[in-house]
Chain A
Amino acid sequence: MEREVIKKINILDDNAMSELSIQEKELKNAPVLRNGDDYHSDYMTLNLGPSHPATHGVFQNVLTLDGEIIVDSDQTIGYIHRAFEKIAERRPYYQITPLTDRLNYCSSPINNMGWHMTVEKLIGVDIPKRAQYMRVIIMELARIADHLVCNSVIGVDTGALTGFTYVFQWREKIYDIFEQICGARLTTNIGRIGGLERDFNPEVYRLLKAFLAEFPAKFTEFRNLLERNRIFYDRTVGAGPISGERALNYGFTGPNLRATGVDYDVRVANPYSSYQDFDFSIPVGEKGDTYDRFMVRQEEIVESLKIIQQAMDNMPEGKYFADVPEFFLPPKEDVYTKMEALIWHFKIIMGETEIPKGEVYHSVEGGNGELGFYLLSDGGRAPYKLHFRRPCFIFYQAYPEMIRGGMLSDAVVTLSSLNVIAGELDA
C-alpha cells in the first residue's frame, strides 16, 4: 500500500508531463462514444454502490462517465462473502440446507430442493411421485415470488412504485403458503433429504386454490400497468442488450439467457423432479435487452401458474418421503415410541449415517439461472468438497460490457433486470 503511494508522488514530481500523456493515451484507448474526435472532455468517476438504494444489494461499480454515458466500469464484489463452501466442509449433509437458503434468498426453496436432489442423486434414492409433485409446486411458487420481486423492482427503477406495492401483496401470499408448509417464510429450509418434512395440510390447499383463483387477475393488472406503458417502454427497450452468442460465452443461464433467444432451460434439458410430466412452454426473447428480460419473466410467471395448476390437479396418492431411514428423520411420535425410529433419529442427528463415496453434479433451474451443486464425497460426515455454481456470480461479470456506451440510468435498470442477488453472488 505504502509503496504505491510513494510511487505515485514520484511520478507527479519528476515527470508530471509523461503522467499526463499516459492518461491521455488511456482515454484514446477507451471506446469512442462521440462523433468526431473530441477526447478532451473530462471523464468522471462515479461510485455506484456498494450501498446505493438503486443497486438492491451490496454491489460496487466504479463507473467512468463521459457526461451521462458510461465509458467503462469496474466491479468489486465479495462484500457479503460468508465462506459457505468452507463451512459446508464441516457440516453433516442435513445442516447444509440452511446455507443454501442464503444464496438466492428471493427463491430459497429452489436452492433447498436443489441441494436435496444432489444428495439424493449421490445416495441413489428415488423419491415418490407425490413428493416430487409437491416439490414442483413449492419450486414454482418460489419462482413466481422471485420473478415478481425482480419485475416489480424494474418498475421501481423506472419510476413506477405502484406495481411494486401491488405485487408484493401477492409475494406475501406465497410466503403465507410457505409458512403453512414449513413454518418459515424467507429462509425456508423447506423439505428434507428424501422428501418433505410433512404432508401439505388442508390449509395449504385452501391457500393454494385461493392464490390460483385470485392471482391471475391481479397479475393481469400488473401487466397492463407496465407492458405497454410508453414510459416503461422507452426506458427499457434497448437498455443493456447482449447477443445470444455473447451471453452463452459469458455463461448466462435462466431468464437472462432466454431473453437473448436461446431456449435453454434445465427443467426441459435435464428434467428433475418429474418436470417431464408437465405441459409448459419456455418463453424466449429476441434482443436480450431489459424489456426482453422483463417479458420473459412475466411469461414465466404465467407458465409457472400452469405448472402449479397441473400439479394440483394430478397430485398422485402416496407417501411424501422415500424409504431412506438413514437420511429422513422419522416422525417425532415414532421417535418417542419405537426403538428403531429412535436409533435412526440419533444416528442422523449425530452424523453417523453411511454416505457413499463419489462425485456428483446436479443442477436445477433457479430463479435466475442454472443453480449447480458439485459435490465430492469421500465417505465422511461432511462433503469433502462442495461447490455451488451460482448463476449470478457467472453472469454478473458481463455487466460492464452490457452497460458500456449506455446511459447511467440504463445501468440501473440493467442491473435490476439481471436479477443479481448479493447473497448468491458472494456465497
Chain B
Amino acid sequence: MELVTNEYLLERLKSQFGDAIISAELPYNLLTLVIDPSGILDMLKWLNTDEILKFRFLTDICGSHFPDFKDKELCVIYHVQSMENNVRLRLKAFLPINKPEISSVESLYSSANWMERETYDFYGVIFTGHPNLKRILNVDEMDYFPLRKEYPLEDGTRSDKEDQYFGR
C-alpha cells in the first residue's frame, strides 16, 4: 500500500480536479486547498470512496467572514480525515455574501447535518440539499447572523480596546 503523504494527496487531487483547485498551501503540515465551491460535493465524494485515500471521517465544518474580500466574503472550512492513513485535509470554499450557496454534504456524512446548521446559524451560509436547514443554537426568531464581522461584540462606542492604541 502506498503511503499517503501530503504531496501524494495533492498530486492525486490535482490530477482529478485540476480546475476546481484554486490554490494549495501547507500551513503547519496540514494540506489546505482553496477550492471552487461548486465542486465540494464531488470532491468529498471522491475522497470518501477512493480506495487508497479513504477520507471517511468528517472532522469539522465551520465558517468564517472576511468583509474585505470582494465577492468571496464568506468562507466555509471543511476538515476531513482519513483514519486509516492518519492524514488530515482542509478544504476552503469562498462564497459571495449576497448569494452564499454551497451544496450540502449531509448525504455523505450524517455528522454534517448539525455542523452545517451551525454554520448557517452563525454565518448565513445556505447549504442546498440540506434536509433541515434551520437555526440550531440561536433562537428561531433571530434575523441576523451573529458571527459575521459587522456585529461587534461590545458597545460600538467603546474604544479602549482598539488596536490603534496598542501600536498596531
Contacts and interface: CB of A to CB of B under 8 A. Distances in A.
A380 B58 contact: no
Contacts of A250: 110-111
Given A394-B111, A398-B110, A78 B86 contact: no
Contacts, number: 99
A77 interface: yes
B153 A251 contact: no
Nearest to A76: B136
A19 interface: no
Interface stretch (A99-107, A352-360, A408-416): A352-360
B1 interface: no
Highest count of chain B CB atoms <10 Å: which of A89, A251, A359, A393: A251
Interface residues of A, number: 46
Nearest to A78: B137
B46 interface: no
A90 B154 contact: yes
Interface stretch (B3-11, B12-20, B26-34, B95-103): B26-34
B113 A397 contact: yes
Contacts of B166: 350-352, 381
Interface residues of B, number: 38
Interface in A342-393: 350-352, 358-361, 363, 370, 372, 374, 376, 380-381, 384-385, 387, 389, 393
Given A81-B137, A374-B62, A90 B111 contact: no
A249 B111 contact: yes
B137 A427 contact: yes
Contact of A380 (B57, B62, B137, B163): B163
A397 B114 CA distance: 7
B168 A251 contact: no
Given A83-B146, A372-B79, A397-B114, A89 B153 contact: yes
A248 B57 contact: yes
Interface in A254-271: 262, 264, 269-270
B137 A359 contact: no
A157 interface: no
A148 B154 CA distance: 39
A251 B72 CA distance: 29
Q: Which 6 A-B pairs have the closest CB atoms?
A: A251-B111, A78-B137, A387-B62, A81-B137, A389-B60, A90-B153
Interface of B: 27-28, 30, 32, 56-60, 62, 64, 77, 79, 83, 86, 88, 90, 109-111, 113-115, 118, 122, 136-139, 146-147, 153-154, 161, 163, 166-168
Interface of A: 77-78, 81, 83, 85-87, 89-90, 121-122, 246, 248-251, 262, 264, 269-270, 350-352, 358-361, 363, 370, 372, 374, 376, 380-381, 384-385, 387, 389, 393-398, 426-427
Given A376-B64, A385-B62, 8 more contacts: A86-B147, A121-B28, A358-B28, A361-B79, A384-B64, A387-B77, A396-B114, A426-B137
23 contacts: A78-B137, A85-B147, A86-B153, A87-B153, A89-B153, A121-B28, A248-B56, A262-B83, A350-B166, A352-B166, A360-B30, A361-B28, A361-B30, A363-B59, A374-B77, A374-B79, A380-B168, A381-B163, A387-B62, A393-B118, A394-B115, A397-B113, A426-B137
